[in-house]
Amino acid sequence: MTKTRPRMFYGWWVVVACAFALFLGPIPIMIFSFGVFLRPLVQEFHTGRGAISFAFTLQTTIPAFVLPFTGRLIDRVGAKRVIVLSTVLAAFILMSAYFCSGKIWHLYLFYVALGITAAGLAPVSYAHAIAHWFDRFRGLALSCTMAGLGVGALIMPTVAQQ
């Protein structure tokens, strides 16, 4: 009789994928790295730090209003669909940064759009996905997933400076 090695629970692969997504998500890149881009944005838009920081304020405040609708959408269609749709929209919005042509309202519109899509890429989406995979070790799985944010906060500002 041969012993078969127990297979690793697939939920842990979901944890790794979600942690990696949070590591590369909008929070570490757009929020924790914003200070790196402040001076170049001030120079590009010929305005003060306050005006540029207002764009950052928009991007971090908008998700607070959008997240209740995002949560409802996650309950209806599932976290995976919301995350995929938000990722595709965020990619197009980031590509549209090319068209921000020195007018401050372009920057504001850009950051509002990023804030709206960032709601779908917020930790709540990933926590919902993880919660469906785990009955036991749910706390461990969630904490390992959210560690992606901490690692991103540590690494992304350094990467952005390069």
Model confidence at 14: pLDDT above 60: yes
Pairwise CA distance, residues 29 & 160, whole Å: 8
Reduced to 3 states (helix: H, G, I; strand: E, B; else coil), residue 84 is: helix
Average pLDDT over residues 11-27: 93
pTM of the model: 0.84
Query: Which helix (H) or strand (E) is 114 found in, with range?
Result: helix 104-120
Q: What confidence score (pLDDT) does residue 2 get?
A: 65
Q: What confidence score (pLDDT) does residue 6 get?
A: 66
Average pLDDT over residues 91-119: 91
pLDDT tens readout for residues 111-154: 999 999 999 999 999 999 999 999 999 999 999 999 999 999 99
